[in-house]
Amino acid sequence: MEILDIADVARRSGIPASTLRFYEELGLIASIGRRGLRRIYAPDVLLQLGLIALGRSAGFSLEEIKGMFGPDGQPALSRAQWQAKAEELDAHIRQLVKLRDVIHHVADCPAPRHLECEQFQQLISAAIASRRQDTGPISVTASSSRAGMRKPRNRSK
């Protein structure tokens, strides 16, 4: 069974060693042991890191990701919670698709002032609207991150 040291993991994942230690400290990943002082890793960790990067790019915080997968990389949510996450992500994707439409419009529309262009206004309104009713039962774990005209008094802690 192949094992990796921190430099291998860094090289193969593209993530700096300092970040790997940081992630371990947070409990996001774990080394399978030490050789002397030095961490050694199972190749699995590369998959986990991929998952973390993916989650980050979807706007999940490290805390959220930690809640979804334990340091062993095992899913740690109920089926319903996973379904809710998928739903959340879907909503996010729909929003990004709308933004992409806006961008395409901007790239093509010759209007002098976009804010006065009917179509532009409608695209934005639609995009905003799709975010508007996020006062729903979704957001299982109070996903504190992921921007977007959040409600005032967002209270944390």
Query: Where on the chain is the footprint of DNA (CB under 7 A)?
Result: 5-7, 16-19, 21-22, 35-39, 56, 61-63, 144-145, 147, 154, 156-157
CB of 18 to its own copies, least distance (A): 10
User: Minimal distance in Å, beta carbon 35 to its own copies?
Assistant: 22
Q: Which of the residues 42 through 101 are near its own copies (CB under 8 A)? A: 44, 47-51, 53-59, 73-75, 79, 82-83, 85-86, 89-90, 92-93, 95-100
Q: What is the SS3 string spanning the chain?
A: CCCEEHHHHHHHHCCCHHHHHHHHHHCCCCCCEEECCEEEECCHHHHHHHHHHHHHHCCCCHHHHHHHECCCCCECCCHHHHHHHHHHHHHHHHHHHHHHHHHHHHHHCCCCCHHHCHHHHHHHHHHHHHHHCCCCCCCCCCCCCCCCCCCCCCCCC
Binding site for its own copies (CB under 8 A): 10, 13-16, 44, 47-51, 53-59, 73-75, 79, 82-83, 85-86, 89-90, 92-93, 95-100, 102-104, 106-108, 113-115, 121, 124-125, 127-128, 131, 146-152
